[in-house]
Structure 1
Amino acid sequence: MSDTTHGVRIRTGSHALRAGIELLSSMRFAIALLTIICIASVIGTVLKQHEPAINYVNQFGPFWAEVFTSVQLNTVYSAWWFLLILAFLVTSTSLCIARNTPKIIADLKTYKENIREQNLRAFHHKAEAVLEQNTEAEARRIGQMLAGGGWKVRLQQRDTAAGPGTGWMVAAKAGAANKIGYIAAHSAIVLVCLGGLLDGDLIVRAQMWIGGKTPFAGGGLISDVRPEHRLSERNPTFRGNLVVSEGTQSSTAILSQSDGVLLQDLPFSVELKKF
């Protein structure tokens, strides 16, 4: 299978729509997005995440601390632009899989035994020889030899100028299953990106947008924080801190945000008897 870098080409819709879909489903666009994700991930690994603002000021100075905060490099994995790129990468890679999977499946099933003799002679890599035995015997001998070497073989009897059924085509292929690696590798990218979306505060932000949840920037007791600053116990994914003093228990996790904190009520309690 010869893979191409262009995307899905549709015939209907406006020129801008057709160009957008072609770009979004192209391999070059997916590779560009993956490169940006890799660079952002390196930054998120080198630069400590979710640190207090004063720590960045002390380490890098006021100017660079302001730059990091403004582009959310201190919270890369939950930054809106990082999640947006992940979403585009999932869409682009999924379209690449959908575009190439039918070709791969077709290549797994075909031996191309119907190719004509003239086409074979036009190949750059070719050789011709005169065989001693009759064509059927030689075709079966060559087929058995290839099958013994791990090739999948298909024989086809053909009509030639010498008479009907006097010609034989020996078609063989090996390594066709390796093309499944294309689907597996790209599916793995989609799976990892979906995990990044779920682990990157996307669900938390969705609850904030839909449920009207807002970060809490005040002080006081956790039990006094109002419901609009608390997330549901059914929240499927979040990342937070649990503060438990010696001799106490807690059932509320704290999720740090750029402008405050959100409280995540847990369906269980954690108790610290002695430290």
Structure 2
Amino acid sequence: MPNTLKRLWRFFASVPFALLILLVLAVTSIIGTLIKQDQEPNYYLETFGETIAGLLDTLQFTSMYSSWWYLLLLMIFALNLLICSIDRFPTTWRLITAPPAPPDTRQRNTAGPERTITSPLTAIHCTEQLQETLMRHRWRDLVEQQSAEGQLITGQRGKWSRLSVYGVHLSILIILAGAVIGGVTGFKAYVFLPEGRSTEAIFLQGNRQPIALGFTLACDQAQVKRYADGSVSEYRADLRIVDARNSTSYEQSVIVNHPLSYDGINFYLAEFYPLDEYYVVISNLQTGAQQAFRAPPHEVFSWPETQVNIELAEFTRNPEGYVQLARIRFAAGENTPAEDFWVRNHQSITFAGNNQEYQVSVSQLSSVLLLANKDPGVMIVYSGFILMLIGLPWCFLTSHQRIRITITKQKTGCRIGVDGSSNKHHQRLENQLDDLTSELRATAQRGE
């Protein structure tokens, strides 16, 4: 590898560079938390003023998490993590696959001083007994060899725990990949959808550019349910999707925090707005005939077959703009004088006119604000978090442990020395070696 590439490799593999990238990401994330993201341009003008709002827009701080420079930072961090992992993997693999060897002095000290036992058994009998005991305590890769100190048994366990850190690294890379994919190909948008209307497009938050849905989204009905005291108990919108591409028709009622999901797009119910438009239904109770109108206020509309004329003449409203009572001016027949009736919103009233009995209901229409988002990377991010939930306990709760047992012949019996090493959790290894030594000492005293 040329020197330039080596220096570049070492730069990206360095821990200080990783810390620098993490610091930059942390600072920019704080900025993204303090500044509301993906708001209307007027919001930033009113909040920060024209100069600062223009600067924030130029630096893309108003849609930071999908900006090119933030996604570039994520990719640089991912590259740093990948190179660090590749650079250190060969050493880790050698430690995993290397045959058990006697720990050096530094490693031996990690488990405290050597523990000694005297046994009346012969060295051969002790060796067989020790191997059985070690296998029972889940020590693996046992190797018996001759050394200057006598007979030597070495073993290890948890060697694959050294790969746990790479599992965590992989989970972070998967999360970063999902975030970049979502930032590049996803979007956040909105649409105002009046009751009884449909749309085939939504609009990006921020620049209001239209996005074609590829299907028709309709709002069949919008309802505001209230408690007895008049406070709102539930907002509900009955949405319908018609997809001509595969002749699909799908209906779902959407309430707050229960979105409609279709074709990778999630539609969330955000706000309700009362319209100055009304759905009026007139029924002739004697003949069963019925006529429905979508009517604006203060405009006379007719039911030609019955010579009925009706006008929504006056309203009383609550502070939110919703109609409470509507005054209907009703005339049945050309020469019949108009009569006034008051009817409650979403209710009906029955009256007689021109020798007929009629029923009229009035319902104020609403418009719903739907927030839409599409994030193709979200499932990738979820899979990364699942892998991290597996990798973190594996990384922090397991360790690679080695054990060394020396059997030295004496005039009567033999002397057994026990020590070991661990790449972490040294106190745990000491406790395990103490338990093992206690068991071996009890066995030696029984002469088994």
2:133 aligned partner, one-letter code: M
Of 168, 183, 204, which aligns to 1:255? 204
SS class of match (1:68): helix
Relative to structure 1, the CA distance from residue 249 to residue 169 in structure 2 (aligned partners, 3 Å threshold; closer, same or farther) is farther
In the TM superposition, residue 98 of structure 1 has moved relative to its aligned partner by 2.1
Q: How does 1:1-275 map to 2 (within 5 A)?
A: 12-15=1-4, 17-62=5-50, 64-113=52-101, 115=102, 119=104, 123-124=108-109, 125-127=112-114, 129=116, 131-132=118-119, 133-158=121-146, 160=148, 167-200=150-183, 202-203=184-185, 237-256=186-205, 260-275=207-222
In the TM superposition, residue 51 of structure 1 has moved relative to its aligned partner by 1.3
CA–CA distance in structure 1, aligned partners of residues 33 and 106 of structure 2: 56
Cα deviation digits, residues 213-233 of structure 1 (max 9, x gap)? xxxxxxxxxxxxxxxxxxxxx
Relative to structure 1, the CA distance from residue 263 to residue 182 in structure 2 (aligned partners, 3 Å threshold; closer, same or farther) is same
Q: Is the 8 A contact 1:143 1:153 kept in 2?
A: no
In the TM superposition, residue 90 of structure 1 has moved relative to its aligned partner by 1.4
Q: How many residues align?
A: 219
Cα deviation digits, residues 40-73 of structure 1 (max 9, x gap)? 2233233210112332233344554344333222
In the TM superposition, residue 128 of structure 1 has moved relative to its aligned partner by 6.8
SS class of match (1:241): strand
Q: Is the 8 A contact 1:131 1:138 kept in 2?
A: no
In the TM superposition, residue 101 of structure 1 has moved relative to its aligned partner by 3.3
Relative to structure 1, the CA distance from residue 98 to residue 148 in structure 2 (aligned partners, 3 Å threshold; closer, same or farther) is same
In the TM superposition, residue 182 of structure 1 has moved relative to its aligned partner by 0.3
CA–CA distance in structure 1, aligned partners of residues 114 and 73 of structure 2: 51
Cα deviation digits, residues 166-223 of structure 1 (max 9, x gap)? x4332232333432320121111111111111121x24xxxxxxxxxxxxxxxxxxxx
SS class of match (2:77): helix
Q: Is the 8 A contact 1:153 1:172 kept in 2?
A: yes
Relative to structure 1, the CA distance from residue 267 to residue 121 in structure 2 (aligned partners, 3 Å threshold; closer, same or farther) is closer
Q: Is the 8 A contact 1:139 1:155 kept in 2?
A: no
Relative to structure 1, the CA distance from residue 88 to residue 74 in structure 2 (aligned partners, 3 Å threshold; closer, same or farther) is same
In the TM superposition, residue 129 of structure 1 has moved relative to its aligned partner by 4.1
C-alpha RMSD of matched pairs (Å): 3.0
In the TM superposition, residue 93 of structure 1 has moved relative to its aligned partner by 1.1
Q: Is the 8 A contact 2:100 2:156 kept in 1?
A: no
CA–CA distance in structure 1, aligned partners of residues 146 and 85 of structure 2: 37
SS class of match (1:48): coil
SS class of match (1:239): strand
2:419 corresponding residue in structure 1:
none
CA–CA distance in structure 1, aligned partners of residues 89 and 220 of structure 2: 57
SS class of match (1:50): coil
Relative to structure 1, the CA distance from residue 128 to residue 52 in structure 2 (aligned partners, 3 Å threshold; closer, same or farther) is closer
User: Higher relative contact order at CA 8 Å, sep ≥6: structure 1 or structure 2?
Assistant: 2
**Structure 2 gap segments, 5+ residues each:** 223-448
Relative to structure 1, the CA distance from residue 13 to residue 184 in structure 2 (aligned partners, 3 Å threshold; closer, same or farther) is same
SS class of match (1:251): strand
Q: Is the 8 A contact 1:248 1:272 kept in 2?
A: yes
- In terms of fraction of residues, the more helix-rich structure is 1
Relative to structure 1, the CA distance from residue 274 to residue 45 in structure 2 (aligned partners, 3 Å threshold; closer, same or farther) is same
Which structure would you say has the larger Rg? Answer: 2
SS class of match (2:153): strand
CA–CA distance in structure 2, aligned partners of residues 43 and 150 of structure 1: 51
- In terms of fraction of residues, the more strand-rich structure is 2
Q: Is the 8 A contact 2:12 2:84 kept in 1?
A: no
Cα deviation digits, residues 213-265 of structure 1 (max 9, x gap)? xxxxxxxxxxxxxxxxxxxxxxxx433224433222222232245xx444332
Cα deviation digits, residues 3-56 of structure 1 (max 9, x gap)? xxxxxxxxx3243x3222211123332232233223322332332101123322
TM-score by length of 2: 0.43
1:27 aligned partner, one-letter code: V
CA–CA distance in structure 1, aligned partners of residues 123 and 106 of structure 2: 18
